Structure 1
Amino acid sequence: MQDTTILKYIKEILKSMPIDWLNLTTHRLDIYDEKLAKTEFLDQFEVLFQQQNSNVTALNELPTAYDYIRLGHPLSCVLEWSIGKLNSTKSENVISFSSKTMPVLAILRKNLLENKNTQIIYSGELPTFFDVEVLKKVYGYQFELKHIKSNTEITPFEGSSIFISQQDKIGVFDPSLPVDFFVNMHTNLGSILLINGAGNEHYIKDIQHVRRRESIAMTPANACIALQAIIASTPLEIQPLNTVIKESVLNSITNITGVETTPLVGSSGLSIQYAIMMGLIDDALEKHPGKSIKIIVPPNCYGGTNDQARRVAAATKNVEIVDLPVDGADDMVKSVDIVLDKIANEDGVPYIIAEIPTNPRVEVPELLALKAVLNKVRNTASGETAIDPVFILDQTFCPNVLFLGTGQILETIRAISYASGSKFPSGGKCTAGYCVGNEKAETLMEKIATHLKLCDNEGTILQMQILAEQLPSMNQRITAAYENTREFVNFIHEALPTAKINFVSTALAAAGFTPSVFSLDLPTKGTTEVEKEAHKRVLNYKLINLMIQEIPDESKFCVSYGQIKGCYWTIPATSTQGTTKEGDKDYIVRASLSPNLDLNLHKKVFLKFMKNL
């Protein structure tokens, strides 16, 4: 009877759910309490279930589910809740992934750090991309494989046991088996992990963190398909990716970047970044065995980049993080020169991750000077030629700028560029990201492709369809969004000249750097620095809240940008820099404008804000 009630309610939910649940990368970020982000949505959803309330208005008023599709969204949460209910287990013990292998890797990572044994049990065949040798050599994961023909062959194990099965039906588990983790893999859909037993619940937080930083949750479209399959109690049927669509996406990326090597498309920008890092580590282990691998990262850069890099270093031998100060009083070129000299002296393997323009200060280094520093031949302490760096460029702010192609600034060094697809490439319609490498990095791209496949973090079928639709118009949208942003920046500069605005100069814009993001350091009051900082932080929220209240259809409290329409506001210190060290955070306003918004209304509301300063 309970199962019937659950299935009936899910059916009603799918009929009346808000369209944003399916079509946006974020939902109701105006109702978002980070401390409650992993519980608040389902707590309130459970109340609606008890009331059998599936009204679209009630569903639309539910708070944000987690922080992004990477960690979870309404439909993946409903899917996990449904499977938990139907299996008489807590919903938090069920975690969906867009990837089929990342839940296994998440458990292996946790056990590596805890020095705990792992046994992987499987029936049938393991996925062809599940490369045991690479997982042990590059990731350092240790585990035993056990192939079974019958579940009766599963016996208790001293450590963690993971049971992998490839299934047509969704959410079918047997918790009575002596297994700690069940991973059901579903072709072209992803996977669903069930954590079995209270003794394993301490894994939940770490597994979710892997999904947040190195992968994504099952996408809204695929979670919807999975829920429909549960209701119908039928096997899944999903058509493979159309090769014409994939070719269209790759051709668009090639045209945009001016790079002839084959691009790679991942399920998110961080999925691509993770493949880049593991691919480069793989290359270093092969070509420079025993040498220290240095991942050089700005300490105040986007929190996901910073956090992921440090997580990789924590779990991988011979990998160390080196800070690269780049913003404000710190010059990227000088910092790169100093850091590379030091690493050369130590005979290390240098991998630099940097954003151009920087985030959130929107600064562009002197590019010819950067080129000279990156091309500089350095020597080790013993006088030998040092290993040349690989420059990994996050150009999400300006994906239209040519960096890597023939005659471009990064042509002569090993360079890789990547961009988050949830921004300009898809217009906010999906999270997919992509990367390209120049000719000097072609062999590195082969390694990166290996790890993207191993992690099963490639772009999904629908993501590729969305990119095929949106990429051809991306550069035009970037231009239009920049023009709106420039006009708004000029307006604020004239209306409030005491505010400090971080945005590209007109000279940089003429050179092709046309972001639609700027940061605003508001003028403040107080007799001490502490009072001034506290007052400024209050003003930040006053401005953002006023914009959202006065223009609810366009202004959003959101970390993203590059969307098709509207204006997005955030405070980097409390959003994109969430995992950054406190001293490196920026408590300023960051705004992003789209090609389509009522700019005059935004100016009018800003003037209203000024009256209360």
Structure 2
Amino acid sequence: MKANTALVYIKEVLKNMPSDWVTLTTHRLDIYNEDLAKTEFLQEFENLYHENISDAAALRQLPTAYDYIRLGHPLSCILEWGIAQKNGINAKNVISFSSQTMPIYAILRMNALEHKNTRILYQNELPEAFNASDLKTIYGYSFDLVKVGDAAEVEDFNGSTIYLSHQNEIGNLHLYKNIDFHLHLYGDLGSVLVVNTEKNAGYISAIQHVRRRETIAMTPTNTLAALQAFVEASQFNNNSETTTHKSQVLESIKAITNSPTTAVVASSGLSMQYAIMMGLVHEALEQHKGKDIKFIVPPNCYGGTNDQARRVADSLEHVTVVDLPVDGDNDMVQSIETILAEIAHQDAIPYIIAEIPTNPRVEVPNLEDLRAVLSKKRSTATGSAAVDPVFILDQTFCPNVHFLGEGAILSSVRALSYASGSKFPSGGKCTAGYCVGNTLTQGLMTKIERHLILCDNEATPLQYELLAEQLPSMKKRIKEAYINTRDFVDFIKKTLPEAKLNFVSDDLAEQGFTPSVFSLGLPTKGATDDEQEAYKRALNLKLINLMITEIPDESKFCVSYGQLKGSYWTVPATSTQGTTKEGDKDYIVRVSLSPNLDMERHKKVFREFVASI
């Protein structure tokens, strides 16, 4: 009876839900508690359920479920809750994925770290993307594959048992006590993993972390389709066509980047980065067997990049992360020179991940010097030729700048470029990301695509459609957003000259670096360093809260950039740098502006803020 009541309630919720639940890719951080991700949303959702309240106004008041849509969102939480209600289990044990294979790899990763056995049972066929050989040789995972008939008759096993089943109806679980993890595969919609029995509860946070860093949750649109099939007890539509939109996207990316390679497109920026990292690991194991792999990463860069790199290093004993200081008093080129000399001496393999412009300080290195330091021939301690580096450029802030095409600044060194599609490429309409390379990385791009497919992390049909729709106007939107941002930065300089602003110079803008994001260090006061820091942090939030309160229809407290309209405000230390070491975090305000906003209104509210301090 309880399950039927829940289904009836979900039906009403789907009728009345805010449209943002399906269309937004960014969440409000002012109503988000990271320690209670998913939990707080579901607690308040259950309160509405028990009171039988499902009107749009009440649903809009629910707290943010996750800080990133790719990790989870209201609809994914409700799908997981509904499946749990129907089957009498805890909602935390139900986790949805866009990928059919990444839930398996999440369990394999934890068991590899714990030196625990794993067997994977399947009835008819494995997911198309599953490649046992690569998982064992490149990822270091160990497992037994067993084709079975009736799962109820499976014998006990000393380790973890994963059972895969292809389903055409949502939420009909058949849980067996001798199976630890049930993975239900739903075609193009994705998959739902059920963590079975209390003894496996310790896996939940580790599986969630894989979903956070190396893949994405079932997308809002696909989750909506799953929920509709779930409440109607009907089969879901599993026919998706990508060919036309995909070819349009690949043509647009080639035109925008001028890259000689065909782009690969992933379900998110981080799932793209994961394919890049594992593709490079694969290349290193084939071409430079026995040598250590060094991923060189700025310690204060985007927290997802930082965390994922360290997670790959944790998983593979021949991989380590080397800090690359790039911001403030540190010069990126000099830091790269010092580190590459040391890695060459060690006869290791250098892979550099860096953002240009940097985040959050919006700095650009001397590009001629960067090319020179990447081109330099180096020797090992024994005098042999050192392995040349691969430069992996996160170009999310300025995806319009040409780095890789013939004659471009990084065309003569091994270089890749990738961008988060939730920013300018889609205008905030989807989370997809893409990667391109120069002529020297044709072979690497093949490896990257192989690992993107292995992880079943390619962009979804709808993501391709949205990118096809938005990419043609991207350069125009970048130009218009930059004009707004330059205007606002110049206004702040005049209105609050004591503030420290980080933004590109006019000279850099002339070179094509026209980001629409800047960082703002507000003036502070206090007798001690601690007092000054506390005052500054409080002032950061005062400014952000004033902007989102006074301009609620345009101004948002969230991590975003490259959106079609409005402005976006955050503190990197508490959002984008969330997993970064404390000493490397930036407690400043990061602001991004779109091509479409009420500039005079923004200036008016900022004047009010200045008057109040």
The interval holding the TM-score normalised by the smaller chain is over 0.9
Whole-Å separation in 2 of the counterparts to 1:171 and 1:113: 31
Return the letter of the residue paired with 2:382.
S
Select between 182-191 and 238-247 the one with higher mean Cα deviation.
238-247
Q: What TM-score, normalized to structure 2?
A: 0.99
* CA-CA distance at 1:32 after TM superposition: 1.2
Quote the residue 1:174 is aligned against.
Answer: 174
2:482 pairs with 1:482:
yes
* CA-CA distance at 1:307 after TM superposition: 0.2
Whole-Å separation in 2 of the counterparts to 1:331 and 1:575: 25
Helix, strand or coil for the counterpart of 1:416?
A: strand
Whole-Å separation in 1 of the counterparts to 2:242 and 2:71: 27
Return the letter of the residue paired with 1:214.
E
Whole-Å separation in 1 of the counterparts to 2:27 and 2:365: 35
Which deviations, in whole Å up to 9, do the C-alpha atoms of 1:236-269 show, x marking residues without a partner?
2232223111100110111110012110000000
Which deviations, in whole Å up to 9, do the C-alpha atoms of 1:152-179 show, x marking residues without a partner?
4412111100001111111222123410
Task: Report if the CA contact (8 A) 2:26-2:560 is conserved.
Answer: no
Whole-Å separation in 2 of the counterparts to 1:234 and 1:146: 30
Quote the residue 2:406 is aligned against.
Answer: 406
Which deviations, in whole Å up to 9, do the C-alpha atoms of 1:59-110 show, x marking residues without a partner?
0000001111222100000000000101100011000000000000000001
* CA-CA distance at 1:529 after TM superposition: 1.7
* CA-CA distance at 1:354 after TM superposition: 0.2
Quote the residue 1:165 is aligned against.
Answer: 165
2:330 pairs with 1:330:
yes
Quote the residue 1:226 is aligned against.
Answer: 226
Which deviations, in whole Å up to 9, do the C-alpha atoms of 1:272-319 show, x marking residues without a partner?
000000000001001111100000000000000000000000001200
Whole-Å separation in 2 of the counterparts to 1:431 and 1:483: 25
Whole-Å separation in 1 of the counterparts to 2:43 and 2:257: 45
Quote the residue 1:192 is aligned against.
Answer: 192
Quote the residue 1:523 is aligned against.
Answer: 523
Quote the residue 2:147 is aligned against.
Answer: 147
Return the letter of the residue paired with 2:515.
P
Whole-Å separation in 2 of the counterparts to 1:424 and 1:273: 17
Select between 348-357 and 25-34 the one with higher mean Cα deviation.
25-34
Return the letter of the residue paired with 1:457.
N
Task: Report if the CA contact (8 A) 1:250-1:262 is conserved.
Answer: yes
Whole-Å separation in 1 of the counterparts to 2:331 and 2:261: 31
Whole-Å separation in 2 of the counterparts to 1:499 and 1:597: 23
Whole-Å separation in 2 of the counterparts to 1:152 and 1:536: 61
Select between 392-401 and 30-39 the one with higher mean Cα deviation.
30-39
2:536 pairs with 1:536:
yes
Quote the residue 1:247 is aligned against.
Answer: 247
Quote the residue 1:448 is aligned against.
Answer: 448
Whole-Å separation in 2 of the counterparts to 1:182 and 1:270: 26
Task: Report if the CA contact (8 A) 2:28-2:67 is conserved.
Answer: no
Select between 123-132 and 572-581 the one with higher mean Cα deviation.
123-132
Task: Report if the CA contact (8 A) 2:266-2:433 is conserved.
Answer: yes
Task: Report if the CA contact (8 A) 1:120-1:163 is conserved.
Answer: yes
Helix, strand or coil for the counterpart of 1:313?
A: helix
Identity %: 63
In the TM superposition, 1:1-400 aligns within 5 A as: 1-400=1-400
**Contiguous gaps of at least 5 residues in structure 2:** none
Whole-Å separation in 1 of the counterparts to 2:556 and 2:402: 31
* CA-CA distance at 1:443 after TM superposition: 0.2
Q: What TM-score, normalized to structure 1?
A: 0.99
Cα RMSD of the aligned pairs, angstroms, is 0.9
* CA-CA distance at 1:6 after TM superposition: 1.5
Task: Report if the CA contact (8 A) 1:154-1:177 is conserved.
Answer: no
In the TM superposition, 1:582-601 aligns within 5 A as: 582-601=582-601
Whole-Å separation in 2 of the counterparts to 1:543 and 1:2: 46
Which deviations, in whole Å up to 9, do the C-alpha atoms of 1:14-41 show, x marking residues without a partner?
1110000000013443311222223110
Task: Report if the CA contact (8 A) 2:27-2:67 is conserved.
Answer: no
Return the letter of the residue paired with 1:158.
N
Quote the residue 1:505 is aligned against.
Answer: 505
Which deviations, in whole Å up to 9, do the C-alpha atoms of 1:397-420 show, x marking residues without a partner?
000000011110110011110000
Return the letter of the residue paired with 1:611.
A
2:478 pairs with 1:463:
no
Task: Report if the CA contact (8 A) 2:537-2:587 is conserved.
Answer: yes
Task: Report if the CA contact (8 A) 1:37-1:65 is conserved.
Answer: yes
Whole-Å separation in 2 of the counterparts to 1:54 and 1:153: 43
Task: Report if the CA contact (8 A) 1:360-1:519 is conserved.
Answer: yes
Return the letter of the residue paired with 1:290.
G
Return the letter of the residue paired with 1:58.
A
Whole-Å separation in 2 of the counterparts to 1:344 and 1:172: 56
Task: Report if the CA contact (8 A) 1:164-1:184 is conserved.
Answer: yes
Helix, strand or coil for the counterpart of 1:192?
A: strand
Helix, strand or coil for the counterpart of 1:216?
A: coil
Task: Report if the CA contact (8 A) 2:27-2:66 is conserved.
Answer: no
Whole-Å separation in 1 of the counterparts to 2:253 and 2:66: 30
Task: Report if the CA contact (8 A) 2:354-2:394 is conserved.
Answer: yes
Whole-Å separation in 1 of the counterparts to 2:151 and 2:585: 52
Return the letter of the residue paired with 1:248.
Q
Whole-Å separation in 1 of the counterparts to 2:521 and 2:66: 29
Whole-Å separation in 1 of the counterparts to 2:245 and 2:110: 37
Task: Report if the CA contact (8 A) 1:547-1:602 is conserved.
Answer: yes
Helix, strand or coil for the counterpart of 1:201?
A: helix
Helix, strand or coil for the counterpart of 2:467?
A: helix
Which deviations, in whole Å up to 9, do the C-alpha atoms of 1:506-537 show, x marking residues without a partner?
11001100000000011111122221111111
Quote the residue 1:494 is aligned against.
Answer: 494
Task: Report if the CA contact (8 A) 2:265-2:435 is conserved.
Answer: yes
Task: Report if the CA contact (8 A) 1:424-1:478 is conserved.
Answer: yes
* CA-CA distance at 1:497 after TM superposition: 1.1
Select between 40-49 and 236-245 the one with higher mean Cα deviation.
236-245
Quote the residue 2:579 is aligned against.
Answer: 579
Quote the residue 1:431 is aligned against.
Answer: 431
Helix, strand or coil for the counterpart of 1:611?
A: helix
Aligned residues: 613
Helix, strand or coil for the counterpart of 1:417?
A: strand
Whole-Å separation in 1 of the counterparts to 2:380 and 2:343: 8
* CA-CA distance at 1:149 after TM superposition: 2.1
Task: Report if the CA contact (8 A) 1:30-1:556 is conserved.
Answer: no
Whole-Å separation in 2 of the counterparts to 1:588 and 1:73: 27
Helix, strand or coil for the counterpart of 2:133?
A: helix
Whole-Å separation in 1 of the counterparts to 2:284 and 2:314: 17
Return the letter of the residue paired with 1:415.
A
**Contiguous gaps of at least 5 residues in structure 1:** none
Task: Report if the CA contact (8 A) 2:242-2:464 is conserved.
Answer: no
Quote the residue 1:416 is aligned against.
Answer: 416
Task: Report if the CA contact (8 A) 2:485-2:592 is conserved.
Answer: yes
Task: Report if the CA contact (8 A) 1:29-1:63 is conserved.
Answer: no
